[in-house]
Amino acid sequence: MKDEDLCKASYWDERYAQAQTNNAGCEGGDHSNSNDNAGPTHEWFKGFDSLKQPFLDKYLIGRWPPEKYSDLRILHLGSGDSTVPIELLALGYKSQTCIDFSSVVISKMAAQHADKDGIQWVHGDVRDMKSQIPDDSVDVAFDKGTLDAMISGSPWDPPKVVRENVGRYLDEVARVLRPGGVFLYVTFRQPHFMRPLLTREQTWSLHLEELNDEQGGSFGYFGWVMEKKGEKTQHDDDNGN
């Protein structure tokens, strides 16, 4: 596997299909978030509990509490088989969309959670969502590792294909976010490499949070918060933000 394979749907289809084959009929693994036929899920980077405090509590749950904003429109970008959408649904967020370019994982998750209302599973490429996600229709966009998978080669001088993929992706995120909406991005990549790629002064503000490892590990993660500029109309929080 090459780093550049991570931005290809065929790689992930094969990987998810192989995982399903390996788990078929097995009793092992963590099935706490799946039915008996779905197999375990895999959480890239941090899981929900470690993200909730303080990152999601501060920038999503605290700002738009589910008791008041149950219809908050949340878009999970490259959702894979993450359980974050399921955890947010349990909190009360009932207007979520999960999009991924792997038809294998979308079919798996749609079947696994067919009994749950409030999450739509969509097969599509986050670099071109025009046929799936309308303009200005998302309050919160969430990415945990999807953008990272598009990056390969030298971080000091990213190859042209990387810059093109990242540019197309961020163009789409900016398009679907409504003014005042936020893009939450969790990454392990160093801020001095990511800031030039993420900066769009005319489009959104940019804020960085360091996500400390409570277990004391040496591997650090970072949370970027981008708020789209423009006149705010819907789902503004109680502070007018």
| pTM of the full structure | 0.85
Which residue would you say has higher pLDDT here, 24 or 208? 208
37, pLDDT greater than 50: no
Q: Which domain holds residue 150?
A: 3-228
Residue 120 in domain: yes
| Residue at 241 is within a domain | no
Structural domains of the chain, count: 1
What's the mean per-residue pLDDT of the chain?
86
Place of tokens 């801020």: 191
Q: Is residue 155 part of a domain?
A: yes
Whether 65 maps to a domain, the answer reads yes
Closest CA to 142 of 82, 200, 94, 91: 82
Q: How confident is the model at residue 231 (pLDDT cuts 50, 70, 90)?
A: confident
Asked whether residue 235 is domain-assigned, the answer is no
**Does residue 19 or residue 22 have the better pLDDT?**
19
Q: Is residue 236 part of a domain?
A: no
What is the residue type of 155? P
Q: Give the count of alpha carbons within 13 A of 99, CB side only.
A: 22
CATH number of the structural domain spanning residue 132: 3.40.50.150
pLDDT tens column, 154-178: 989 999 999 999 999 999 999 999 9
Q: Answer whether residue 233 is part of any domain.
A: no
